Amino acid sequence: MTTELDYIAHLAGESARFLEVVSQLPADAPVPTCPDWDADDLLWHLGEVQFFWGTVVREGVSGEEAEARTPGRPRDRAGLADFFTRASRELVGVLAATPPQAPAWSWSTEQTAGFTRRRQAHEALIHRVDAELTADDRTPLDPQLSADGVDEALRIMYAGVPDWGTFTPEPGRTLRITASDTGHSWLVTLGRFTGTSPDSGKVYDEPDIEAVPLDAATAGSGGPAAAEVSGTAADLDCWLWHRPAQGVIEHSGDRNVLRGFETAIGPGIN
């Protein structure tokens, strides 16, 4: 999916809205989409995440090294808000000053600052949704950012296997996902991920997906999909992240394929 999104502007805007909403919540307000967290836990989490990635890009260190540099959690709301504000400001600043193609550690095969720009814009967006759900004060999501979020969720967060693993597609088990407001669509193939981790020795054999974005030139390739899912980009993005949609998401076609897809994304995104 080709995009001209200003990820840094979105990161700054979503982070600001997140802090605005969290600041109005009681510290112990339960977060419905993160059952083990209250509002202060959510504030600490996003602050810690933004501090971590700012450290990775600014210092040119690995994730393990950045983790070691993370300070302890502040004891009260004022301290948490101050930590988040500084971490967020510094992350936006370092990403703005770093070319997107510059090398930077990540857990992905893409090791660039551009990967961090995109990932952190969506991290802030989804946790903004968490804050708004906690406050019962939802506001619209940017459609283009949401469509890009669907692409990231399908092709990076859920799909992809390590170099020691194998994805085996299941013939005919395909699903077309369409964002009704932006026109973006993806063809998802169900299959299985198999392999043995060389680090832990753990053997994997589990449902998986492979997704490709479709455009006018490829929309008809491979014939019709066995099933289809459609909704606004914002609703699809929330659905893939296991957050409640505000509108209706339409499902049609082969129920076994639809169930297979739900099974593949059932564990959610860590």
Inside any domain, residue 1: no
For residue range 93-131, what is the model confidence (pLDDT) as tens digits? 999 999 999 999 999 999 999 999 999 999 999 999 999
81 and 153 part of one domain: no
Inside any domain, residue 270: no
12 and 51 part of one domain: yes
Residue at a domain's end among 139, 174, 196: 139
253 and 180 part of one domain: yes
**Closest to 94 (Cα-Cα) out of 117, 71, 119, 111:** 117
Q: In terms of residue numbers, what domain contains 54?
A: 7-139
135 and 154 part of one domain: no
For residue range 158-180, what is the model confidence (pLDDT) as tens digits? 998 999 999 999 999 999 999 99
Inside any domain, residue 2: no
34 and 88 part of one domain: yes
Structural domains counted in the chain: 2
The CATH number given to whatever domain includes residue 68 is 1.20.120.450
32 and 85 part of one domain: yes
For residue range 51-92, what is the model confidence (pLDDT) as tens digits? 999 999 999 999 999 999 999 999 999 999 999 999 999 999
Strand order from edge to edge, sheet including 165-179:
203-214, 185-196, 165-179, 227-231, 250-253
For residue range 210-254, what is the model confidence (pLDDT) as tens digits? 999 997 445 555 568 999 999 999 999 999 999 999 999 999 999
Cα dihedral sign for 245, 250, 256, 257?
Answer: negative
Q: What is the pLDDT of residue 37?
A: 98
Q: What is the pLDDT of residue 224?
A: 85
